[in-house]
Amino acid sequence: MKHRRSLIIHFSRIRLLAKKFVLVILFLAAFVLMLLNKTDNAIIDKTSGVATDVVASVVDVLVLPARLIANGYDFIKNIGNIYADNHQLRLENQRLNMIYNRYKSLEVENKLLASLLNYVTPPKVDFVTAKVVAEEGSAFAHSMVAYVGDTKVEKGQVVLSDKGLVGRVDKVGSNYTKIILITDINSKIPVVVENTRVRGILSGDNTNTPKMIFIPLDADVKVGDRIVTSGVASVFPSGLPIGKVIRVTKNEIMVKPFSDLEQLEYVKIVNYNVVSDTLIQNTETKGKENE
Amino acid sequence: MSENLDEDISSLFQRLLPFVVSALLITIFYMPLGLFSLNGIRPMVGVACVYFWLQHRPDIFNLWSVFCLGLWDDILSASPLGSCIFGMLLMYMLVNLTSRFFNAKPFIVLWYGFMLLLLVTMFGKWLLISVYYSRFLPLSMLCFGYMITIAIYPLLSLLLAFIQNKLMKD
């Protein structure tokens, strides 16, 4: 009896030790995953893309009835014509905002280009409209998952809403893609103040208002100034509207994005290189044919 | 034979239910419905679920469930892969360390316990991610996220307690 009791105690001690050991192993596994993620490992990227596909498809199925309930609630709230009118006005407002943003950037661009004679027209762009199926906002990350279907999307492509820049593609699955928002801590965008052409970097910090950094000390930036992409480093094309300045302090400039990043249902993923790539390919093919 | 099979299926269902419900809740809170976020910040439902199940059903919600739930959260989130796992494992460790104190205590004590353990968990995760990015994340967003998670916990535990009472055996 005594022997049996000591065996049980011994066994439970071993079990407790094994449990602690497994906990340490799992903590280590979490650290290893973080380290692999930090190294931009291609296998991790690919696996993560596949995993996003699986998880996002679950969200996509779940979001349908949830959206139906949410829409039903909205419908009750906005009865009859008021709802239809509101919907119409929203669409109209979106269209006008797009025209306004385009007009503002074109106006400045036009002034600059007027002084140049040998202006080269930028290539046309290809885009895909993607449905937002999941979004994340926390102290640790700001992102969203969007459904793109069979369309080929690549890492780093620009994501826009009707009001302006939203973010860039981070991870790509076969049907879904993960988008890093401009408010995320990983987001660094070369920008310019539209009127004064003061350059800087718009840096996300996981708050709703990204900061403009690396600006000259004597820079002339005022509250209300529009911030657009500068096109430096060729990551983003120039002139895409981002937001407006809401606070200027000695050390930083706070920018409020034009797009309401919490209310996005659809986004546009734009491939700004597609035409130039096709042109290069065509030229190469023609060159081979001539040979 | 048939009875045994039924029992096996029922037992499997019981064992998987906390994990499935938690994964489902995490997923629902990622949905773009405009219902679950306040000023762009969403509550940390995963950690809250881990706390609840470890307090109420530690017999079926084990370490592997916590790890898998963290992985699920990591895949959905854009925070560094492994950070959600770390957060949940930290909560697991803390609950185990304090289990004697919180065992069979009324809800209000458990809620206070959650406030305390969540604070440590979030701070730990914040520190880890700050080291990862080599810069400190804004504390204001962390505090806001903390308060939202604390505020939603009673509702969440009500829902989970309902599931536990209706669908799970002792």
* pLDDT score, position B35: 65
When mean pLDDT is compared over A3-7, B122-126, B138-142, the highest value belongs to: B122-126
Instruction: Among A70, A139, A144, select the one facing B33 at the smallest CB separation.
Output: A70
DSSP state string for A140-177 = S-EEEEEE-TTS---TT-EEE-SSSEEEEEEEE-SSEE
* pLDDT score, position A283: 44
* pLDDT score, position A276: 43
CA A130 to chain CA centroid, nearest Å: 12
Which is nearest to A203 in space by CA: A192, A191, A195, A211? A211
Q: If you average pLDDT over residues A169-187, what whole number do you get?
A: 88
Q: What is the pLDDT of residues A49-63, one digit of tens each?
A: 788 888 888 877 777
Instruction: Assess A205–B contact: CB distance below 8 Å, yes or no.
Output: yes
Cβ within 8 Å, pair B141-A207: yes
Instruction: Among B89, B129, B135, select the one facing A30 at the smallest CB separation.
Output: B89
pLDDT over 70 at B1, yes or no: no
Domain assignment of residue B156, given as a range:
2-167
Interface of A with B in 52-81 (CB under 8 A): 52, 54-56, 58-59, 62-63, 66-67, 70
- Count the helix, strand and coil residues of chain A and give each as a percent rounded to the nearest 5: 45, 25, 30
Q: How many distinct structural domains can be found in chain B?
A: 1
pLDDT over 60 at B3, yes or no: yes
Full-model pTM: 0.77
Q: If you average pLDDT over residues A170-182, what whole number do you get?
A: 87
With left for phi above 0 and alpha for psi between -120 and 50, is residue A207 left, alpha or beta? Answer: beta
**Nearest chain A CA: its distance from B34 CA (Å):** 7
Instruction: Assess B29–A contact: CB distance below 8 Å, yes or no.
Output: no
When mean pLDDT is compared over A129-133, A234-238, A260-264, the highest value belongs to: A129-133
Residues of chain A neighbouring B93 (CB-CB closer than 8 A): 23
Q: What is the pLDDT of residues B47-60, one digit of tens each?
A: 999 999 999 988 88
For B60, other C-beta atoms within 10 Å of its C-beta total 16
Cβ within 8 Å, pair A55-B39: no
Q: What is the pLDDT of residues A82-109, one digit of tens each?
A: 777 888 888 889 888 888 888 888 888 8
Q: What is the pLDDT of residues B103-128, one digit of tens each?
A: 878 899 999 999 999 999 999 999 99
**Nearest chain A CA: its distance from B159 CA (Å):** 17
Comparing B155 with A59, which gets the higher pLDDT?
Answer: B155
A266 → chain B, closest CA residue: B32
Average pLDDT over all residues of chain A: 80
Residues contacting A20, CB < 8 A, separation 6+: none
Residues of chain A neighbouring B27 (CB-CB closer than 8 A): 55, 58-59, 62, 134
Q: Which two tokens stand for residue A281?
A: 């390919």
